[in-house]
Structure 1
Amino acid sequence: MFAGHDSYGGIGGGPSHPLTAEVTMRGFPELFRALLAVCFVLAFTLFPSVVAHAQVTGATLSGTLTDTSGAVIPGVMVSIKNRATGVVRNVSTDEAGFYSAPNLLAGNYDVTGSAPGFSTVVQSNILLTVGAQQQINISMKVGESAQLVEVTEAAPLVQLTSSVISGEVESTTIRELPLNGRDWASLATLSPGVNAIETQIGFETGTSRGNRGFGAQLSISGGRPTQNNYRLDGNSINDFANGGPGSVLGVSLGVDAIQEFSVLTGNYSAEYGRTSGGVVNAISKTGTNTFHGDVYEFLRNDKLDANDFFLNASGQARPAYRRNQFGAAAGGPIRKDRTFIFGDYEGIRQTQGVAIPATVPSDAARLGNLADGTRVNVDPAIKKYLALYPRANGPVTGDKGLFTFAGARVVTENYYTVRGDHKISDKDNFFATYVYDKAPYNQPDTFNNQNILSSTIRHIAALEESHIFSPNLVNNVRGGFNRNAIVNFQSVSAINPAAADPSLGVMPGTNNPQTFISGGFTTLLAGLYGNNTTHAWNSFQFYDDASLTRGAHSLKFGFAMERMQYNFFQSFTRFGKLRFASLKDFLLNNPSSLEGSFPEQTNPRGVRETLFGGYIQDDWRVRRKLTLNIGLRYEMTTVPNEVHGQLTSLAAFSDPLPQCGTANPALTTVLGKPGCAGVASSFFSNPTTLNFEPRFGFAWDPRGDGKTAVRGGFAIFDVLPLPGYFFHPQSVATPFLLAGVVDNKQGPLAGIGVLAGTPGSAYSKMGPNSLYGALMESHPGRSYVEQWNINVQRQLSASLTATIGYIGSHGVHQLNRGDDGNLVIPTMTSAGYLWPYNPTRQDLRINPKLGPIRYMLYNNDTSYHSLQVNVQKRMSRSFQFGAAYSYGRGMDSSSGTIAGDSFSNSVTTWFWFDPKITHARSDFDVTHTAVLNGIWQVPGPRAGLRRLVLGGWEMGSIFKMNSGIPTTPLIGGDAIGAQNAGSDPYSIPDRVPGCDGVNSNFKSNPGGVFLGYINTGCFTLPKASPEIASRCVPFVGSGTLANPQFPGTCSNLLGNAGRNSVIGPPLVNLDFSLYKNFAVKKISESFNVQFRAEFFNILNHPNFGPPLPFFNSGQAQIFKLNGTLSGGGG
């Protein structure tokens, strides 16, 4: 939760964890397409006049040497020395006086220029950041070479040769700013255009967070969070869902192992692939010629924390909390100037009291006395089943009460990094990095019924050899391995005996089913052993990148290959999922649907795919003031396949049988043997075979003084169909898993306590027309993003720069994923889409022979436009400052691309047949975002007792604010009669023109626990206009309403309120840190002890997320917000 502030103390200080198809490729094998990529690279490799420079992690230092009259000096020997390792790179200037040294390790360098007849020139302490292109022009005076001239002018801070839009986060920033959870990747939000997804599903047990990865998710320049590429030492470290890296706690540890990272937010060059969003490019620390290291511990406990917002509301004390985050890092030389080693360990030991709010039936409702006056005779089986629902111990509103309890989440995380660097010779350098991270996470479920385990294990390895063929030609060969193994909320033991009671089951040999009660009640998890999902991801990577410099051209070219293995298993609906349309129906044991899989059914899958890429990039210095960045990348993937052929897809929604990857499986069930329409090696034509991606940019220095840069560009980036996207449809698809849904449209369903085999049981009603299907668009169009930008960067002082610019993008054929596309198709009328409402006619669905159909379509277009401002002051005069502001708008028709419901404010299934009707603001769109950060080394006395008390103080701060995330007002229940039982039922109301959709009293008093956010008076039930009145079905009330119907309304008409038409509350957060440094010179000149106190949300400002679109019981009821905080449930 964001509410409350946290404070810390102890040696080192301590941040806390954040409360955050058809075959059409016959005769044209994909191998041939891969060979095209190889030939593409080789063609440029053999090209006689190519020139190239920096790679994805190395920096490039270049410039021109002139005499005092401005004439260029050829043949100057330029020596570039790394101040930390002593490694020297020698290059010489060409006929135009130009030099370039590519692929330099990020760090501080001294540059020396020497030539006969000129004094030797030295410019010291030049900072090169990861992937940077730094220009250092040097003027030489006539004189003896023995005469040394030191240049004191600072290096230019503006990008004079590159059009890439990026932000750098240096080691001081990573180390000294307050970091909640010591998550280095969270600092990416210091760059404009980078937003953390505040509405990502929480990582608490019982959510589906693990099915889309545990790492924190970012939107970069309007891109989806699954369209970014996270790199460590040049290798991709994305997880199986192509999301950000992270442990089960949702953080990326290793602050002391990361030297620095950059965030590329626009127009990056052709060497960057596998992404259409942004690139987070990190490098690990290395050993140096001087031994360096640190030991630390960060302490947090309940005595230092403010109370949780909901616990305060219910009058409960702070739960027990203990967190120790500790570690050590050290590096140094094994052999001076040649061999170096660095290692890091970080551990977390955390026990945290659970304070997750849950909404449960009130005591009166449990007895059948509903708040609207209805008296219900509670079914005997439900009386027993209510043992699984705890009694409310907080505020009660209507039939709902708040329940919280003081359980404990226990996490033990161990994170290791080791890196070795070796200078083989003056021409060869080698390094290797290995990272290991293991984090099991145990806690009770939301109702305290059973213990749940989630865990992550990560392995990352990188190897690179760099060879200098000549001062102008450098080649790097790099290999990498990335493995994620995830267990997502596996139930391991019962706390409440009812969770292990098979008499409460509805499927044979199982305990209680997962249970949904519409109307805002918290979901009850399936009983003991009913939850288990695992993911295993292996990525084997190989890269070869070459750099050559000649004349006015600097060119990069290279090749990439990645072999991806993704294995997943889900005990999908093994115990069943029961849905009740209202609390009343639950008490009567009258379910609206049952979702389940047949006995002895498992669904392990092993998806395999290979990526090939090649590129050429020429940075052409057309004039001293103008550089053109021209590149072309080719990148394709093979069509994913499954190791046993167990992939399946319908060619169209209406097809009765799917295409299968192998012969019809011999599965004998109560349904007999399900069939396949045929066997196919792939299910869609490969849309990536012509993925040529042009990249163009320019950097212009209009004044020629190196202090102003006008930059812009245009580029195309492809969105690749990676393996993780296929988990959602393939995990349940018939015939390799027999799972389906039956509902009460054809008559009442027997509910809880009526087991399979019993006459009339819901399970016994499952037939072929209830089974899950999967549809992957058979002829998808090429999925890509066009991006363009223009910006101006100005150096205002030796340490201060400002940038203002515009970034725009247009996504074509973006993925549109849905839970169930098997619905009744409406007709378009003058009033909007109208459904032929008839809830007992399943044959009206587009495919009456199947149940829910999970789908992947590429019919979603996106757009993004943004003004971005960035001000950066590097550390000088003991002060460092950064400010980033973005004003933007992102639009799409749906925002989710993977399983796990990426955004809690999302509706997971929209109307696939007409994406235009839901084209609106993206689920993660934020109009205004501002982030300020600063570090101040407070001046103080330098000697004596006063220095001991008043000296060595330091402050750091991060302030964030944004204008809120959008959400969609809905009408609960399947009012329109869409009949897609595999997704949450809903309809959309009409909007009252000119009415503010947010309650004014919430704006003035946002602290009320159950204070409504949405002004429901601004929304009405869709009206039956005269043209359609004869085909309209009025809304039906419930309970003891005097008028059981709403005359003049039209329940089967889609309203005009629109998707994401209400903006949620803004976010305001201030983190602050105070440090005291003690230099212990008796031990060493560099030995230092630091005490920290860090405060997160020091203003104690409660930050509410948008109201979440839960699905209410009454068909005439529009949902409201009931005190939901960011990260909370519905």
Structure 2
Amino acid sequence: MAGTISGYIRDESGAVIPGADVRATLIGQQLTRSAVSDETGFFNLLAMPRGNYEITAQLTGFSTQRTTAELTAGENLRVDFKMNLSQLRETVVVTGAAALVETRSATISGLVDDRRVQELPLNGRNVVELARTLPGITDVNASEEMASTRGGPTMIVHGASRGQNNFTLNGSNFTNFSQTAGFNPPPPDAVQEIRVQTSTFSAEYGNNAGAQVSMVTKAGSNEFHGSVWEFHRNDKLNARSFFQPRRPEQRQNQAGASAGGRILLNKLFYFGSYQRLSNRAEAGSAQALVPTDAQRLGDFSTLGMALRNPVDPITNRPFADASGASCVSANVINPNCISPVAKSYLDRFIPRSPTGVVVKLSPSPLDAYNWVGRLDYTASSKNNLFFHYFRDHYHRTSSPGNLEYVTQDNLSDVKQYAVTDTHTFSSTFLNEATYSFMYADSFERAIDRVPPRDMGMNLDEGYLGVGMSLNVSGQFNLSFTGPERQTYRNWHWRDTMTLVRGTHTFKWGYEGMYVNFDLVRGNGARSATFTGTRSGFPVADFLVGAFDQVSYGFGAADSFPLIWKHQAFFQDEFKITPRMTLNFGVRYEPWLPWKQEYGRYTSWAYGVQSVVKPDAPRGILFVGDPGVPDKTVESDLNNFAPRFGVAWDLFGNGQTVVRSGYGMYFNQVSGTTVHAAEAPWTGTVQLFSGRIEDPFGSLNRAFPPSGVPISGEFGCVKTNQYPGLQCPLYPLPLNFVYNDLEMSTPTVHHVNVSFQRQVTNDLMFDVAYVGRFGYKLEGHRHFNPARFINSPITGLPPSTQNINERVLYEPGIIGPTSRVLGSDYRSWYHGLEMKANKRFSRGFMFSGFYTLSKAIDTLLDSGAGLTAGVANPFDLSVMKGRAQFDRRHALGFSWMWEQTRRFNNRALESVLGGWAVSGVHNVSSGIPLNFVMGTDVALDGTGGANRQLAQLAPGVTYQDIELNHQNRGDLVNAFFNTSAFVPVNQLPRGIYGNMGKNVISGPAMARSDIAVMRNLKLPGREGLRFQVRGELFNAFNQVNFNQPNQVVSSASFGRITSAQAGRVGQLVAKVLW
């Protein structure tokens, strides 16, 4: 990301000076660019590489002016000169000439500069984490590790969801479009700075509507510079988290080195870094509630609630053993009725606990390394090139869920190659071209699989060895994910021209991209859920094997999506007067939707028979059917996005500015979101209220065929029996995901108004209003829910067994969990931001902000996948409410103090010299709580147990839900008033709850990270020093609780069972030169 250096040249009286020669020299590489001030005294140096510059202004008859200033990535640096009349050849050195305010653009942005990157405490050493020091940004997720190529850093920016940000590294695309997250960046010792543009960025930027996150690596110079480091963690330096019985074991080492210098003086420069990470640690704690010794034998006499004997939905008879004795009586389960599947799990995976509580601390070893290489070449005074290479490798084993079940093996390898060429045709006309290629490969598998048949279930393991997950609601879960392999490729190219003509600076260009990824995985939707709907208590359901729902995925979820992107832009920066600048432009960003390499996308049109696959059930359409394009969604070719902005320098001195801007932006739909629409090659069967020993047989259902229907043929034939078809190659009803043929490009509008004031040479304040409004946002919704009516087939009352007979369309053929990916959602954001920034001077720097905001949307799941659906598929209006990531208040500040005084007394210098302290502090209100039923009270069959909103008790208001807590014990055991809700077992079937979405906030968050360091000079060369430092993350061991259980039917309803990490200590040793 190049920047600009501009400013005005005036004499002592304030009159403008045209014709002055201005030269800027990049210190270290001796790259020089020049310009001449125009008739208004204005000069403009274009496309300047970031770095420290010596800037001089000279004209015959005036004294030469010289100053130094740092230009950051993408910055419009303003440097004004006041020249004195002089007949002597004298040079005046000017200090503090660079302005802190932005006088040429309405873009809201924040910078994390080199000093902050190097000196602030950084947990995990992922530099994206420092975005939390900027206003408008919350919930930054930037781990030191990346479990798969679909992971990587994300953040919430001005009410935009995690999947709406665009990342670049040295101007090359660094975004994972399969999941719309970033890739993990180089270590801090290889990063020069990060700039985050959060609102009304220019037409030059696109691909996503959230933020533009630009990272720049260090570069070599004529001088040899570098560092060697070791970061060490040991659990002896840590404190346990609130719920942990002890400190998890940890031995972590991050060691590496970086160096940069010259190969040819003033011509060819190099920089490289390497880091190795080894972490031998136990994963963070996970709490489970397990059956007591009495409950394992079937005795629930102390439960405090009455159990009922489950009823077989097929025979409509209560559960009984072989002799006819009841299975559940007087809160005791007949030993002969305890499921052999439950016994197998109890014996192998569910530990005993005298308290009924188990906290899991499982080993989770990690090994990773990271390479960065960069070459800068000054080919001539007109041409500059640089090349970078990046690699990030990761390997971890872990255990998901809150009990030990299976061990997951995760590997990831990411590489990028990029080259940028900048050609200067003249001081007013230049071109910048970038080309890059990114390759990412990840693999996930279970090392010790547990086949369902080994546990006593009549189920196979599935394609690629998919196992079975068990969830006993509010108690414990045994989780299984994978297997999966993804290979991601991204070719990216961009060319930008810049031309200055009078008071106009024109910029135009083209950006192209080709992305594909191969996703090969078993269908992971295999799980059994026990919610307590059968007997009244989830553990009792589990013991007798009476599940509420089984999701059985089959087939191959292999996917080979690809997408082309072709975009163009034009931008004009027009200086209307020396005090006012107008920016206007337009970006053309047509939406060319994802394709499937083998045409495996499907669509849906009620009552229409496919021509491509005439043996398919009616309503399912394929690529090649009339009206169905090869992407199943029509391209959107009229995507013109205007951008406007104005910056008014109130007094003309570059210190007080009012700015305002508007822009339209388009969001990208991730490849992971759209790839799910691949029936009949993969699918899911939903079973309700059966027995876990034989989920299909207990419900008189045919077992799905083995193997994978690679051909995609259904083999359906008409019959006279319900549902009128037999499809031996694919079990009915069909539950699938399809893309809405009329889906539009998600669109977001930005507006802002800001006031900036530079108070001193090193201190400025900024107040801004930021608004963001989303339209046609993408997300899933269930289009075929079951109505609460008597079965049209049998006439029987609604129940879990006739859900497929009561659906809106094609009973018995299209299932109720089928979803459509469409453009049905909206969002609103309003934010007031106040910021103060003091750049480093006199040994101190400071940056702080406060944000007051509100984010509203009509989505239930605001994550990157957007797969949750809605609470009530018959009424989307109930979904308007606080966004799931809304934090009303956010306060943050970072600072550094350095001992700059040098003592003449050696003894004093040896004790007091070279010390520095820095810190990062964040406080914010909690994210919302969303109260849900936890079971399918509406009997709509959509799998919405954790989407259907809860029922508020009569006469209770939202204010009655909140509680004042006297101590932490009260807070943990009952974060909110659970009696404000109607228990699920007291509700009539067929209703949706009367609550709104996200009505109160969860626990607040406070965190302080502090670093103490000392620099000691070493003999041998100038600048050689040894640094030792200690870092504390969550330094004051503040307890930050996670969300309480919000599921009404859960035994843990209202309880908090987990918290974020306690204090973590880190020791650091560095040698720098």
What TM-score comes out, normalization by structure 2 length?
Answer: 0.86
Residue 977 of structure 1 and its aligned partner are, at CA, apart by: 1.6
- The residue that corresponds to 2:1006 in the other structure is 1068
Residue 328 of structure 1 and its aligned partner are, at CA, apart by: 0.5
User: Which of 692, 702, 712 is the aligned partner of 1:751?
Assistant: 692
In 1, Cα distance between the equivalents of 2:615 and 2:270?
A: 54
Residues 292-691 of structure 1 mapped to structure 2, 5 A cutoff:
292-312=225-245, 317-354=246-283, 355-370=285-300, 371=303, 372=305, 374-377=331-334, 378-393=338-353, 395-396=355-356, 402-446=357-401, 447-488=403-444, 490-493=445-448, 502-508=454-460, 513-526=467-480, 531-573=482-524, 577=528, 581=532, 582-598=538-554, 601-651=555-605, 654=606, 679=625, 680-682=628-630, 684-686=632-634, 688-691=636-639
In structure 2, do the counterparts of structure 1 residues 1107 and 758 end up closer, same or farther at CA, with 3 Å as the change threshold?
A: closer
SS at match of 1:361: coil
Residues 713-862 of structure 1 mapped to structure 2, 5 A cutoff:
713-727=661-675, 729-730=676-677, 733-744=678-689, 749-752=690-693, 768-818=731-781, 820-825=782-787, 838-841=799-802, 842-847=804-809, 848=811, 849-851=813-815, 852-862=817-827
- Aligned-pair identity (%): 26
Residue 1073 of structure 1 and its aligned partner are, at CA, apart by: 0.9
1:656·1:850 contact (CA, 8 Å) conserved in 2? no
Which residue identity is paired with 2:852? Y
Deviations 1:959-982 (A, max 9, x none): 111010001112221112222147
In 1, Cα distance between the equivalents of 2:701 and 2:476?
A: 28
Residue 389 of structure 1 and its aligned partner are, at CA, apart by: 3.0
Deviations 1:50-108 (A, max 9, x none): xxxxxxx1110112223334343333221110112211112222343322111111111
- The residue that corresponds to 2:1054 in the other structure is 1120
Which residue identity is paired with 1:1055? G
In 1, Cα distance between the equivalents of 2:483 and 2:455?
A: 21
2:243·2:1058 contact (CA, 8 Å) conserved in 1? no
Which residue identity is paired with 1:1091? V
In 2, Cα distance between the equivalents of 1:612 and 1:1076?
A: 51
| Residue 269 (1) aligns with residue 202 (2) | yes
In structure 2, do the counterparts of structure 1 residues 655 and 223 end up closer, same or farther at CA, with 3 Å as the change threshold?
A: farther
Deviations 1:238-279 (A, max 9, x none): 1244433345xxxx4411111011111111111011121111
Residue 881 of structure 1 and its aligned partner are, at CA, apart by: 0.6
In 1, Cα distance between the equivalents of 2:511 and 2:1029?
A: 44
Residue 925 of structure 1 and its aligned partner are, at CA, apart by: 0.8
Which residue identity is paired with 2:339? D
In structure 2, do the counterparts of structure 1 residues 644 and 855 end up closer, same or farther at CA, with 3 Å as the change threshold?
A: same
1:879·1:934 contact (CA, 8 Å) conserved in 2? yes
Which residue identity is paired with 1:294? S
SS at match of 1:117: coil
CA-based RMSD of the aligned residues comes to 3.1
In 1, Cα distance between the equivalents of 2:98 and 2:461?
A: 72
In 2, Cα distance between the equivalents of 1:293 and 1:264?
A: 29
Which residue identity is paired with 1:751? I
What TM-score comes out, normalization by structure 1 length?
Answer: 0.82
In 2, Cα distance between the equivalents of 1:756 and 1:550?
A: 79
In structure 2, do the counterparts of structure 1 residues 476 and 1092 end up closer, same or farther at CA, with 3 Å as the change threshold?
A: same
Residue 665 of structure 1 and its aligned partner are, at CA, apart by: 10
In structure 2, do the counterparts of structure 1 residues 895 and 1077 end up closer, same or farther at CA, with 3 Å as the change threshold?
A: farther
In 1, Cα distance between the equivalents of 2:1052 and 2:409?
A: 36
Moved more, 477-486 or 170-179: 477-486
SS at match of 1:303: helix
Residue 136 of structure 1 and its aligned partner are, at CA, apart by: 1.7
1:66·1:72 contact (CA, 8 Å) conserved in 2? yes
Residues 1011-1090 of structure 1 mapped to structure 2, 5 A cutoff:
1011-1020=973-982, 1037=985, 1046=986, 1050-1080=988-1018, 1082-1090=1019-1027
In 1, Cα distance between the equivalents of 2:786 and 2:111?
A: 51
SS at match of 2:909: helix
User: Which of 106, 114, 121 is the aligned partner of 1:178?
Assistant: 121
In structure 2, do the counterparts of structure 1 residues 1007 and 952 end up closer, same or farther at CA, with 3 Å as the change threshold?
A: farther
In structure 2, do the counterparts of structure 1 residues 898 and 1104 end up closer, same or farther at CA, with 3 Å as the change threshold?
A: closer
- The residue that corresponds to 1:980 in the other structure is 942
Structure 1 residue runs without a partner (length 5+): 1-56, 397-401, 828-835, 1022-1034, 1038-1045
User: Which of 952, 958, 967 is the aligned partner of 2:929?
Assistant: 967
Residue 993 of structure 1 and its aligned partner are, at CA, apart by: 4.1
In 2, Cα distance between the equivalents of 1:411 and 1:580?
A: 35
SS at match of 2:732: helix
In 2, Cα distance between the equivalents of 1:687 and 1:910?
A: 30
In structure 2, do the counterparts of structure 1 residues 640 and 1000 end up closer, same or farther at CA, with 3 Å as the change threshold?
A: closer
In structure 2, do the counterparts of structure 1 residues 1097 and 946 end up closer, same or farther at CA, with 3 Å as the change threshold?
A: same
SS at match of 1:450: coil
In 1, Cα distance between the equivalents of 2:144 and 2:866?
A: 12
Deviations 1:457-515 (A, max 9, x none): 11122210000001100101111122332334x10136xxx668635343235689524
Deviations 1:217-252 (A, max 9, x none): 2111111111111111112211244433345xxxx4
SS at match of 1:1122: coil
Deviations 1:840-879 (A, max 9, x none): 4332212322222132121101100000011001011100
Deviations 1:1029-1057 (A, max 9, x none): xxxxxx6x4xxxxxxxx4xx544332322
| Residue 226 (1) aligns with residue 163 (2) | yes
Residue 798 of structure 1 and its aligned partner are, at CA, apart by: 1.1
SS at match of 1:725: helix
Deviations 1:266-297 (A, max 9, x none): 11111011121111111110001111000000
In 1, Cα distance between the equivalents of 2:265 and 2:494?
A: 29
In 2, Cα distance between the equivalents of 1:758 and 1:853?
A: 21
In 1, Cα distance between the equivalents of 2:640 and 2:618?
A: 48
1:516·1:580 contact (CA, 8 Å) conserved in 2? no
1:228·1:243 contact (CA, 8 Å) conserved in 2? yes
SS at match of 2:805: helix
| Residue 120 (1) aligns with residue 57 (2) | no
Deviations 1:535-577 (A, max 9, x none): 2221111100011112111121111001111221221148665
Deviations 1:291-314 (A, max 9, x none): 1000000110111111232223xx
In structure 2, do the counterparts of structure 1 residues 1050 and 450 end up closer, same or farther at CA, with 3 Å as the change threshold?
A: closer
| Residue 79 (1) aligns with residue 26 (2) | no
2:602·2:621 contact (CA, 8 Å) conserved in 1? no
Deviations 1:365-386 (A, max 9, x none): 2211222361123123422232
| Residue 870 (1) aligns with residue 835 (2) | yes
Residue 120 of structure 1 and its aligned partner are, at CA, apart by: 2.2
SS at match of 1:409: coil
Which residue identity is paired with 1:739? T
In 1, Cα distance between the equivalents of 2:461 and 2:896?
A: 61
- The residue that corresponds to 1:990 in the other structure is 952
Structure 2 residue runs without a partner (length 5+): 307-330, 533-537, 706-725, 790-796, 1063-1073
In structure 2, do the counterparts of structure 1 residues 942 and 84 end up closer, same or farther at CA, with 3 Å as the change threshold?
A: farther
- The residue that corresponds to 2:85 in the other structure is 142
2:531·2:935 contact (CA, 8 Å) conserved in 1? no
In 2, Cα distance between the equivalents of 1:881 and 1:394?
A: 52
